[in-house]
Amino acid sequence: MLRRIGSLAPIALLAFTGFIVYVIVQVNSGTEMPWLGRLGGMPYLDKAGHFFLMGGLSFLAVVAIAPRLPSPPKKATLQVLIALLFLIAAEEISQHWIPSRTLSLADFCFDLAGVGFFGWLALRWISRTGETDQ
């Protein structure tokens, strides 16, 4: 059962990545998103969003990609997470030049925490299911 769920990870990763890209484009353009605006008044929700969105992305990326790499699971997971962190850092730094956005070290720290925690969960997942191509 766990392997069957893991086999859907590439599709889930693409869909979730598309959702995150959509949100980033909307926020960068200053477009108001009513569903996000209602949540915006809650304290620290932005930080929780960073933690869970980037964490979810890292979980799906590790489950979808790491078992297909020719490295042992720990090393493959680390490779996926490092690549993802470079992309997340580039997106956060790009906010410096976008008038509707704010570069925030705190946001990046919550991104890091989400990637680390959910990346660790994903490593446990692939280790438990034995999903490796070695």
Q: How many residues does the chain have?
A: 134
Instruction: Report whether pLDDT(5) > 70.
Output: no
CA torsion sign for 133, 60, 83, 79 is negative
Distance CA 125, CA 134 (A): 16
For the chain, the straight-line distance linking the first and the last C-alpha, in angstroms and rounded, comes to 21
Task: Cite the beta strand spans of the chain per DSSP E.
Answer: none
Q: How confident is the model at residue 133 (pLDDT cuts 50, 70, 90)?
A: very low
Which range, of 34-38, 108-112, 126-130, averages the lowest pLDDT? 34-38
- Note whether 39 and 23 are within 8 A (CB): no
Give 39-65 pLDDT, tens digit per residue.
556 667 788 989 999 999 999 999 999
